Amino acid sequence: MAGETMKDALQTILRQAIDCVAEEFYQKIPQDIGIPLSVPPSDDLGDYSSNVAMLLAKLFRTSPMRLAEAIIRNVKGEAGPIAWLEVKPPGFINIFLSSNWWRQRIIDVLSMGGDYGIAQTREPQKVQIEFVSANPVGPLNVVSARAAALGDSLANLLSAVGHEVQREYLINDAGNQVTLFGESVLSRYFALIGHDYPFPENGYLGDYITDVAEWVFNEHGAEFEAIEDEGVRRRFVDISLGRMIENQRQTLLDYGVVFDVWFSERALRAKGGPDDVKAILKERGSLFREDGALWFEATKFGDKRDRVLVKRDGEATYLLGDLAYHRDKYQRGFDLIIDILGPDHQGQVAGILGGIEALGLERRKTRVMISGHVRLLRDGKTLAMSKRAGDFISMNDLLQDVGKDAARFFFLLRTASAHLDFDLDLAKKQTPENPVYYVQYAHARVRSIFRKAAELGMDPGDLIEADLSLLSDDEAHIAKRLCRFPEMIERAASKHEPHLVCYYLMELAGDFHRYYNKTKVLTNDPEVTSARLALSEAVRRVIEAGLKIIGVSAPDAM
RNA sequence: GCGCCUGUAGCUCAGUUUGGAUAGAGCAACGGACUUCUAAUCCGUAGGUCGUGCGUUCGAGUCGCACCAGGCGCGCCA
């Protein structure tokens, strides 16, 4: 069923039935009606359920119950997976799939290998996701860690449903903060080579500045002594900056995140990006001068106030650079541009989107997501952090402390925009309170069963050949969950909500843990054992696939 | 003041996009299960004015309006 989920199939079947009923009632139904399908609250209400009769009753001038009855009379599903249908007041159509059909789906999982849940969408899009994009003047912090988990998982999800995804990191390598960073490092560096150099006002105080200075000194010695020379100074700053960027890249790599493009803002400026934006906006009549500054008439494009693009001193503002950047993205031909911004950037969203529109670009191609605040808790208390003073928990510290798997999983446990309390003690605990281990343990348990089987000299044979009809209804219930994996992936991808993956995995792991405690997989009956091993292996593969999407490892043993 | 986010069990949160059936999970509490493929697990008990009010609807945690509470953002900073 590559590319088509169970839901799609059922919708088609219902649609056909409704068309038949429409003829019966001499009614035309609009083409664009959707057929809502949901999973009912309990198993005795069916495997899927639709309220479509309640929605169409008025149109058909009949009661929801009568319409629902008429629809199920017209369902032709003899050969299909539908076992029977029921109508329940006030007009639900409940669909029961045959238990045997569910069991057979285990084969799908096993035969599709790592591709289970990976479907081709109807319209593959070229998508760009830009995230993290932290200033290269310091180590990444925990907010970046959250954005990284979010962006990378979302990218994985969108790829999984067939989009072509590019991960991009914008390097803010132009501007004041870079100068300030350079001066800060320079001061430490000069101390190392035995000279005085004033530490800049509002300079960066963190230890990492000294680390960078030491690194430069170790690599290049006193080579930058002649700092008065503009060329020497520029090289010093570039080298220091490069070191910092490399540091960030390494941290992200440790986190399992690899960017396809590292986009330099400086290069964009050199290409004249900001000038082009000014020219276009001027031509379109969206600029004006006031108080010696150049303004963009953002209020005409949905912003609540106008925005400065070029300051009185001739310097470009952040917004101008960002508009140039977005224009560049549009020129690169993406169908969808996703920006994941930190919570402190929410104030500029209206300006960016307004500017995009003012440039004559399709505003709706850009989707801005705000990744929420992160508050770290230790011993039940909030950790205060100050970046300028260099007193904060970096992303590196976090990875050292709780590890990549716990960090990524915890960040995805909340919806993207909500504030998040990250309990460092909990994330470290190797106890059932910690959901990461719960899921990983289920995976390791399956591996363990197979190890045991081998130890006992059992030959499970080719699992695809297993006689799945030997499985019980309890086991079919797990197969149902497996079938919903592709639906969940599609939903998570289209809604841009990677956290759904975590919740699905916790439920599937729960199913398996319960099963494991209740049922022995390895038995004296080779046929039953094979069938149970097939189910277990299918569970393992789905857990592995789900964990892969959120960038968490699937251990063989714990 | 304006904008964004949040308010669901003692705690941390799903569920709100597209209204639907007895509102879910984990933790904490209490009581149980290890001669067993890993007890990092499982079984059971208990726990709720879905912030408040009004409205729309056959039906509202979900939609609309108003209000209350908390967080954040509102620069010719990035």
Residue at A114 is within a domain: no
Please give residues of chain A from 322 to 361 whose alpha-adjacent beta carbon (CB) lies under 7 Å from any atom of strand B.
Answer: 343-348, 350
User: How high is the pLDDT of residue A1?
Assistant: 38
* Confidence class for position A503, pLDDT limits 50, 70, 90: very high
* Confidence class for position A32, pLDDT limits 50, 70, 90: low
Nucleic strand B under 7 Å from the C-beta of A386: no
**What is the phi/psi pair of residue A519, to 5°?**
-125, 135
Please give residues of chain A from 54 to 73 whose alpha-adjacent beta carbon (CB) lies under 7 Å from any atom of strand B.
Answer: 54-55, 64
Residue A536 CA distance to nucleotide B15 C1' (Å): 29
Q: Containing H/E element for A82?
A: strand A82-88
Which nucleotides in chain B lie closer than 7 A to a protein CB? 2-6, 12-15, 17-18, 20-28, 33, 36-43, 58, 70-78
Residue A422 CA distance to nucleotide B27 C1' (Å): 14
What confidence tens digit (pLDDT) does each residue in A438-461 have? Answer: 999 999 999 999 999 999 888 777
The alpha carbon torsion through A146, A151, A157, A163 (nearest 10 deg) reads 180
Nucleic strand B under 7 Å from the C-beta of A254: no
Q: Which residue, A254, A284, A319, sits at the end of a domain?
A: A254
Residue A418 CA distance to nucleotide B50 C1' (Å): 18
The alpha carbon torsion through A70, A76, A81, A85 (nearest 10 deg) reads 20
Nucleic strand B under 7 Å from the C-beta of A45: yes
% of residues, chain A, pLDDT over 90: 42
Of A171 and A123, the one with more pLDDT: A171
Residue A433 CA distance to nucleotide B30 C1' (Å): 18
Residue A241 CA distance to nucleotide B60 C1' (Å): 55
Alpha carbon A276 to its chain's center: 33
- Do A14 and A75 sit in the same domain of this protein? yes
Residue A389 CA distance to nucleotide B1 C1' (Å): 33
Residue at A384 is within a domain: no
Q: What is chain A's alpha carbon radius of gyration, rounded to the nearest angstrom?
A: 29
% of residues, chain A, pLDDT over 70: 94
Which 3 state secondary structure label does DSSP give A371?
coil
Query: What distances in angstroms separate CA A131 from CA A111, A192, A261, A396, A460, one per listed residue?
Result: 35, 36, 11, 18, 45
Q: With 70 as the cut, is the pLDDT of residue A342 above it?
A: yes
Q: Which residue, A229, A254, A279, sits at the end of a domain?
A: A254
CATH number at residue A61: 3.30.1360.70
* Confidence class for position A230, pLDDT limits 50, 70, 90: confident
- Do A215 and A152 sit in the same domain of this protein? no
Nucleic strand B under 7 Å from the C-beta of A273: no
Q: What is the mean pLDDT of residues A119-134?
A: 87
Nucleic strand B under 7 Å from the C-beta of A519: yes
Nucleic strand B under 7 Å from the C-beta of A373: yes
Nucleic strand B under 7 Å from the C-beta of A299: no
Q: With 70 as the cut, is the pLDDT of residue A432 above it?
A: no
Nucleic strand B under 7 Å from the C-beta of A172: yes
- Do A55 and A80 sit in the same domain of this protein? yes
What confidence tens digit (pLDDT) does each residue in A350-397 have? Answer: 899 999 999 999 988 999 998 888 888 877 677 766 555 555 788 998
- Do A192 and A66 sit in the same domain of this protein? no
Residue at A205 is within a domain: yes
User: How high is the pLDDT of residue A97?
Assistant: 87
What confidence tens digit (pLDDT) does each residue in A312-341 have? Answer: 888 889 899 999 999 999 999 999 999 999
Residue A368: exposed, middle, or buried by beta-carbon count in 10 A (0-12, 13-18, 19+)?
Answer: middle
- Do A467 and A534 sit in the same domain of this protein? yes
- Do A448 and A541 sit in the same domain of this protein? yes
* Confidence class for position A433, pLDDT limits 50, 70, 90: low
- Do A442 and A532 sit in the same domain of this protein? yes
Q: Which residue, A97, A118, A141, sits at the end of a domain?
A: A97
Segment among A29-33, A168-172, A194-198 with least mean pLDDT: A29-33
CB atoms within 10 A of CB A463: 19
State the average pLDDT for chain A.
87
The answer to whether A174 touches A266, Cβ cutoff 8 Å, is: yes
- Do A308 and A454 sit in the same domain of this protein? no
Nucleic strand B under 7 Å from the C-beta of A518: yes
Residue at A421 is within a domain: no
The answer to whether A76 touches A16, Cβ cutoff 8 Å, is: yes
Residue at A326 is within a domain: yes
Please give residues of chain A from 400 to 419 whose alpha-adjacent beta carbon (CB) lies under 7 Å from any atom of strand B.
Answer: 413-415, 417-419
Q: With 80 as the cut, is the pLDDT of residue A167 above it?
A: yes
Residue A304 CA distance to nucleotide B3 C1' (Å): 9
Residue A347 CA distance to nucleotide B5 C1' (Å): 12
- Show the domain range for A245: 176-254
Residue at A105 is within a domain: no
Nucleotide nearest to A417 (CA to C1'): B5
Nucleic strand B under 7 Å from the C-beta of A266: no
Please give residues of chain A from 80 to 119 whose alpha-adjacent beta carbon (CB) lies under 7 Å from any atom of strand B.
Answer: 88, 90-92, 94
Residue at A102 is within a domain: no
Please give residues of chain A from 176 to 195 whose alpha-adjacent beta carbon (CB) lies under 7 Å from any atom of strand B.
Answer: 176-177
Residue A500 CA distance to nucleotide B14 C1' (Å): 9
- Do A159 and A272 sit in the same domain of this protein? yes
CATH number at residue A268: 3.40.50.620
* Confidence class for position A79, pLDDT limits 50, 70, 90: low
E strands within A98-223? 126-130, 164-171
Please give residues of chain A from 468 to 497 whose alpha-adjacent beta carbon (CB) lies under 7 Å from any atom of strand B.
Answer: 491, 495, 497
- Do A216 and A343 sit in the same domain of this protein? no
User: How high is the pLDDT of residue A4?
Assistant: 61
Round to whole Å and give the CA distance between A127 and A335: 6
Nucleotide nearest to A58 (CA to C1'): B58
Nucleic strand B under 7 Å from the C-beta of A302: no
- Do A158 and A201 sit in the same domain of this protein? no
Round to whole Å and give the CA distance between A15 and A30: 12
E strands within A407-472? 420-423
Residue at A366 is within a domain: yes
The total number of structural domains that make up chain A: 4
- Do A239 and A358 sit in the same domain of this protein? no
* Confidence class for position A3, pLDDT limits 50, 70, 90: very low
**Please, what is the angle between helix A473-495 and helix A499-518, to 10°?**
170
Round to whole Å and give the CA distance between A459 and A527: 11
The alpha carbon torsion through A20, A24, A25, A28 (nearest 10 deg) reads 40
Round to whole Å and give the CA distance between A527 and A467: 7
